[in-house]
Chain A
Amino acid sequence: DAMVIQNPRYQVTQFGKPVTLSCSQTLNHNVMYWYQQKSSQAPKLLFHYYDKDFNNEADTPDNFQSRRPNTSFCFLDIRSPGLGDAAMYLCATSTRQGALSEQYFGPGTRLTVT
């Protein structure tokens, strides 16, 4: 089945130690998104790619970076994780840019910072 895959499902990192979360998709969608979801809060968009075009949300901290080496893969890099970065990170895809298209979500990676 076509899907959005996130690895790992659970990630533990130390305060200040760089960490990378990965997302892959078999849907061949042009757009990939990264959301941060803290406990009992709404998913918050960090950035998205339309093909290779990177779109950063204005309030996304500089500590968060992303790479999309090809259509299938997208990575979220947290350069120096703080305790406040502990959250569920959701990857999503859609066929085209803009809110018109529904998004397909992966199961998420839960990040713990110790």
Chain B
Amino acid sequence: AQSVAQPEDQVNVAEGNPLTVKCTYSVSGNPYLFWYVQYPNRGLQFLLKYITGDNLVKGSYGFEAEFNKSQTSFHLKKPSALVSDSALYFCAVGYSTLTFGKGTMLLVSP
């Protein structure tokens, strides 16, 4: 069975500082890895995905994620956080269907 762990319920960061939202997974082989973001009263929106190739994946809104096979991690990063990045972030993993993590609330303070 595949599983995803997002160990932090909430991440707080000041605007302009770098941010990291952590994700680790448990699934055999080389699954597809995704990050989605959910703003209040909106559906989940696709941010980026890792299929194969370069371990650093770039996505929407300046976000990127680093795939680390040995640590089975896929952490989301951004060099300089914006207040407007405040939202709920979901990591997901799978082959045929996706298994989502429980989400991490990112709060960026002015």
Contacts and interface: CB of A to CB of B under 8 A. Distances in A.
Given A99-B95, A99-B96, A100-B32, A42 B101 contact: yes
Interface stretch (B11-19, B42-50, B66-74, B75-83): B42-50
A81 interface: no
A97 interface: yes
Do most interface residues of chain A lie in helix, strand or loop, or is the interface mixed?
A: loop
A105 B4 contact: no
A41 B99 CA distance: 12
Given A42-B100, A99-B32, A105-B43, 19 more contacts: A4-B43, A41-B102, A42-B99, A44-B100, A45-B98, A45-B99, A48-B97, A92-B43, A97-B96, A99-B31, A99-B34, A99-B93, A99-B97, A103-B36, A104-B46, A105-B36, A105-B44, A106-B43, A107-B41
Interface of A: 4, 35, 40-45, 48, 57, 90, 92, 97-100, 102-108
